[in-house]
Structure 1
Amino acid sequence: MSATWRKWVLVGVVGLVGCKTTGSAVREAPERPRQEVHFDPVSVTADLELSELNDEELFAGGTSAFAANDFARAARYFGRLVDFHPQSKHRNEALYNAGLSYERLEQWEEAYLRFSELADAEKGTGDALDAAFRMAETQYHLGRFTDAAKVLGTIAAREDLPVGKRLEAQVQQGVCELESGQPEKAEATLRKVTTTYEGLPDKDEVEDYFPGQAHFFIGEIYRLHYEEVKLDPEKGSDALANDLNYKAELLLSAQGNYLRAIRVGNGHWATAAGSQIGAMYENLYEHLVNSPAPKELDAEEAQIYREELRKKVRVLLTKSINIYERTLEAAERIGSQNAFVAKTRKSLEKMKALLLADTDGAPLPAEATEPAESEPHT
Structure 2
Amino acid sequence: MSVRRWWWVAALGLAVTGCRTTGSAARDGQGTPPKQELQFDPVTVTADLELDKLNDEELFAGGTSAFAANDFKQAARYFGRLADFHPDSRHRRAALYNAGLSHQRLKEWEEAEHRFSELADPEKGQGDALDAAFRVAESRYHLERYDEAVKLLGTIAAREDLPVNRRLEAQVQQGVCQLEAGRGEEAEKTLRKSLATYEALADKDEVDDYFPAQAHFFVGEIYRLHYEGVKLDPAKGSDKLAEDLNYKAELLLSAQGHYLRSIRVGNGYWATAAGAQIGALYENLYEHMVNSPAPAELNAEEAQVYRQELRKKIRVLITKSINIYERTLETAERIGSQSAFVDRTRASLEKMKALLLADAEGEPAPDPAAADGEPHS
Q: TM-score, normalised by structure 2?
A: 0.89
Q: Distance in 1 between matches of 2:278 and 2:304?
A: 30
Counterpart residue identity of residue 172, structure 2: V
Q: CA deviation at 1:364?
A: 3.9
Query: What is the correspondence of 1:1-378 to structure 2 with a 5 Å cutoff?
Result: 2=10, 4-5=12-13, 39=41, 41-358=42-359, 359-361=362-364, 363-364=366-367, 368-372=371-375, 374-375=376-377
Distance in 2 between residues matched to 1:64 and 1:363, nearest whole Å: 61
Distance of 1:71 and 1:345 partners within structure 2:
32
Is the CA contact (8 Å cut-off) linking 2:11 and 2:81 kept in structure 1?
Answer: no
In the TM superposition, residue 120 of structure 1 has moved relative to its aligned partner by 0.4
- Distance in 2, matches of 1:278 and 1:307, equals 24
Q: Aligned partners of 1:147, 1:241: CA distance in 2, in Å? A: 43
* AA partner of residue 70 (structure 2): N
Deviation for aligned residue 1:369: 2.4
Q: Any idea what SS the aligned residue of 2:294 has? A: coil
Partners of 1:350 and 1:256 in 2: how far apart? Answer: 24
Q: Aligned partner of 1:4: which letter?
A: L
- CA separation of 1:42 and 1:108: change in aligned 2, threshold 3 A: farther
CA distance in 2, matches of 1:81, 1:154: 31
Give the C-alpha shift of residue 9 in structure 1.
6.3
- State the Cα deviation string for residues 89-117 of structure 1 (Å, max 9, x = none): 11111110111111111111111110001
Contact in 2 for aligned 1:315/1:364 (Cα 8 Å): no
Secondary structure, counterpart of 1:125 in structure 2: coil
> So what's the TM-score if we normalise by structure 1?
0.89
What SS does the aligned partner of 1:370 have? coil
Cα distance, 1:38 vs. partner?
6.3
SS of corresponding position for 1:43:
strand
Asked if 2 retains the 8 angstrom alpha-carbon contact of 1:7 and 1:46, the reply is no
Kept in 2: contact 1:5–1:47 (CA 8 A): yes
The answer to whether the 8 Å contact 2:195/2:212 transfers is yes
38 and 88 in structure 1: CA distance in 2 versus 1, 3 angstrom threshold: closer
Partner Cα distance (2:112, 2:358) in 1 = 51
Distance 1:360 1:54, change over 3 A: same
Give the AA of the match of 1:115: F
Distance 1:44 1:351, change over 3 A: farther
- Using the TM superposition, give the Cα deviation of residue 331 of structure 1 relative to its aligned residue in structure 2, in angstroms: 1.4
- Contact kept in structure 1, 2:10 and 2:99, CA below 8 Å: no
Residues 6 and 131 (structure 1), Cα distance of their counterparts in 2 relative to 1, 3 Å cut: farther
What CA deviation, in whole Å up to 9, does each residue of 1:199-220 have, x standing for no partner? 1111111110111000000000
Q: Is the alpha carbon distance of 1:54 and 1:5 closer, same or farther for their aligned partners in structure 2, counting shifts above 3 Å?
A: farther
Structure 1 residues 301 and 9, CA gap change in structure 2 (3 angstroms): closer
For residues 321 and 94 of structure 1, what CA distance do their matches in structure 2 show? 49
Amino acid at match of 1:182: R
Q: Secondary structure at the match of 1:195?
A: helix
In structure 1, C-alpha distance between the alignment counterparts of 2:181 and 2:365, rounded to whole Å: 48
CA contact (8 A) 1:140 1:176 kept: yes
Which amino acid is 2:269 matched to? Answer: H
Secondary structure at the aligned position of 1:87 is classed as coil
Cα deviation, 1:180-223, whole Å, max 9, x if unaligned, reads 01011001111111111111111111110111000000000100
Aligned length: 351
> Structure 2: where are the runs of 5+ without partners?
1-8, 21-37
